[in-house]
Amino acid sequence: MAEQKEKRPYVPLPVSAEAAGTAPGRGRLTGKRILIVGGGQRTVDATTDPVGNGRAMSLLFAREGAHVAIADMDTESANATLNQLTAEGGKAVAITADISKPDQVEKMVGDAHTALGGLDGIVLNVGIGAGMRLDGSTPDLWDQVLAVNLRGPMLACRAALPVMADGGAILFISSVASMKPGSRMPSYDASKAALGGLMRHVALEAEPKAIRANIVAPGLIDTPLGRLSSQGRPSRARTNIPGGRQGTGWEVAYAALFLMSGEASYVNGQILAVDAGLTTIR
């Protein structure tokens, strides 16, 4: 009888200094001028909230030497990110803008370009969800979600491309819900999937200026918005994630940092899932 191999104990994914947001900056974005749309974050419980993706990117990019424009429809939240960033010695400005409003998108890009003295990159970290399942998806809710998640990024790219510096980068924040049904909200899944088509077209139109366009697709990330989603759908928190834990906003931010930096100068038109393998080995 063949000897059975001893089962190896389960080892969860470690939380590195980068994943915890405590690693020092390394100058990877020195001199870059970057607009982060959605640089604030939702407040669920101010005493226990972890960092959100947008705030983590704003803080990290500044630590890495970028001059950041933090745009958000929530002025108070954008200013909170700004205050934390400047307290660390970073350079930033805050801009209030609702990406679902075309006139505000134009003004946001113009204000960022003026305040930063140019524009080398833009991150589109926006997303709302509404309408559970098809029977809860009304036409109005569908249009509301796509106006923010898809039309808004299109308008931002349309406004930004003509004024961006050559060799810049555009990053869309999508979701693994674009790859497999998970949110239970058809409008959200469909809008995040459609970002792939938009991203590839932007990469094509931006080619003459050597501006790259890519996507980061986060999986289950422990952010204030993630915790709010788990309250509405408790099964989310019980998902069998490879590595045994949800990700952090910092882990999303470091993936974004790579794609916005010169380290990714030959990466264009691609989708990077930050999900511990949820979409590939589960």
Instruction: Please say whether the beta carbons of 48 and 82 come within 8 A.
Output: no
Chain mean pLDDT for the chain: 93
Single out the residue of 70, 56, 99, 81 nearest to residue 216, CA to CA: 56
Predicted confidence at residue 5, as pLDDT, reads 59
How far, in Å, CA of 50 to CA of 47, rounded?
Answer: 9
Please, which residues have CB within 8 angstroms of residue 150's CB and are 6 or more apart in sequence?
A: 191, 194, 195, 198
What would the two tokens of residue 232 be? 């509405």
Residue with tokens 């996507």: 215
In this prediction, residues 200-224 reach a mean pLDDT of: 96
Q: Is residue 11 part of a domain?
A: no
Q: Is residue 223 part of a domain?
A: yes
Predicted confidence at residue 175, as pLDDT, reads 96
Single out the residue of 68, 69, 59 nearest to residue 24, CA to CA: 59
**Tens digits of residue pLDDT in 145-194:** 999 999 999 999 999 999 999 999 999 999 999 998 878 899 999 999 99
Predicted confidence at residue 142, as pLDDT, reads 96
- pTM value is 0.93
Predicted confidence at residue 237, as pLDDT, reads 72
Q: Is residue 182 part of a domain?
A: yes
Instruction: Please say whether the beta carbons of 26 and 64 come within 8 A.
Output: yes
Amino acid at 156: A
Q: Is residue 7 part of a domain?
A: no
Amino acid at 236: R
Length in residues, the chain: 282
Q: Is residue 228 part of a domain?
A: yes
Query: Looking at the DSSP assignment, which residues form a beta bridge with residue 34?
Result: 68, 121
Classified as helix, coil or strand, 238 is: helix
In this prediction, residues 219-242 reach a mean pLDDT of: 81
By annotation, the residues acting in catalysis are 188
DSSP readout, 37-101?
A: ET-S---S-TTTPPPPHHHHHHHHHHHTT-EEEEEES-HHHHHHHHHHHHHTT-EEEEEE--TTS
How many structural domains does the chain have?
Answer: 1
Report percent pLDDT > 70 for the chain: 96
pLDDT at residue 273 greater than cutoff 90? yes
Q: Which domain holds residue 158?
A: 28-281
Q: Is residue 60 part of a domain?
A: yes
pLDDT at residue 244 greater than cutoff 80? yes
CATH of the domain at 185: 3.40.50.720
**Tens digits of residue pLDDT in 63-110:** 999 999 999 999 999 999 999 999 999 999 999 999 999 999 999 999
Lowest-confidence segment of 7-11, 18-22, 185-189, 260-264 by average pLDDT: 7-11
Predicted confidence at residue 81, as pLDDT, reads 98
**Tens digits of residue pLDDT in 109-134:** 999 999 999 999 999 999 998 988 99
pLDDT band of residue 10 (cuts 50, 70, 90) is low
Lowest-confidence segment of 94-103, 238-247, 267-276 by average pLDDT: 238-247
For the chain, the straight-line distance linking the first and the last C-alpha, in angstroms and rounded, comes to 32
In this prediction, residues 250-263 reach a mean pLDDT of: 98
pLDDT band of residue 7 (cuts 50, 70, 90) is low
